[in-house]
Amino acid sequence: MAQAHEFTPPRFSPMRVRVLSGLALGALVAGTFGPLVLPLDGGGGMMTVTRGLGWMLAAMVAVGSPGWRHVAPGELDERERTERARAVVIGHRVSGICLALAFVWTLIGQARGLWMPSLGQTSWLIGAAFSLHIMVPAIILAWRAPVDEED
Amino acid sequence: MMNNDTSSLHNRLALFRAEAGLSRKDLAEQVGVNPQTIGFLERGQYGPSLELGLKLARVFGVPVETLFSLEPFAPLAASLAAPRIMEGGR
């Protein structure tokens, strides 16, 4: 029987996670919220590429940090497991708050006739929310870890 | 022992490690943790599990209560000076 090759995800340094997540957040904000508040063509090439870049960087952060992704047994020590668990809990809370706000907005928006996103804009917003969801634990872990710890 | 980030556990890990001439990486390898975890322990930002505490004590060949305490340890200078003060007082 052929032996299954196990994928070993990379482990980015805290500084790399900080830089990548900062770039991802910038691209997501610009590509998602820019067209909503500024007279920009959200469906145009520039904004589409910007959003795509944000999603791609968010995916890199999620895979390169033991935050949201699966962690192999023995990959983390006891402190790292504790910190990861707390970061994941905070990430779930942030996502829950975002969901609750979106829910409240749709309820009030229907009744009061407030601005509601189009189908395309909804997909951008959900993409940004998902990207944020998978990045938050990694961001917390990266900012908690000392970057240059002298020995 | 505690597994939280605001540990009220005091330790002499840095002192014992320096005296043994071990780097954080060396010590981390001997007890099977990330070197950053040794830094967190030394700064009192993390309280180890009982298992890790016992492993650390075994590395230095001391009882676990020599390495960890619920009460703050006396400063090293005060501990060294105490016998001399006692002798001088006799």
Quote the CA–CA distance of A92 and A131 in Å, as a whole number: 13
> From chain B, which residues contact A within 8 Å (Cβ)?
3-5, 23-25, 32-37, 39-40, 46, 48-49, 52
pLDDT of residue B33: 96
pLDDT at residue A151 tops 50: no
Interface of A with B (CB under 8 A): 76-80, 82-83, 145-146, 149, 151
Name which of A41-55, A126-140, B18-32, B74-88 the model is least confident about: B74-88
CA–CA separation, B29 and B57 (whole Å) = 14
Q: What is the pLDDT of residues B1-28, one digit of tens each?
A: 555 555 688 999 999 999 999 999 999 9
ipTM for this model: 0.77
Contact A80 B34 (CB under 8 A): yes
pLDDT over 90 (residue A87): yes
Interface A-B: count of C-beta contacts within 8 A? 37
What pairs with residue B11 in β-bridges?
Answer: B68
* The residue to which tokens 């970061």 are assigned: A87
For the stretch A130-141, pLDDT in tens is 999 999 999 999
Q: Which chain B residue has the Cα nearest residue A79?
A: B37
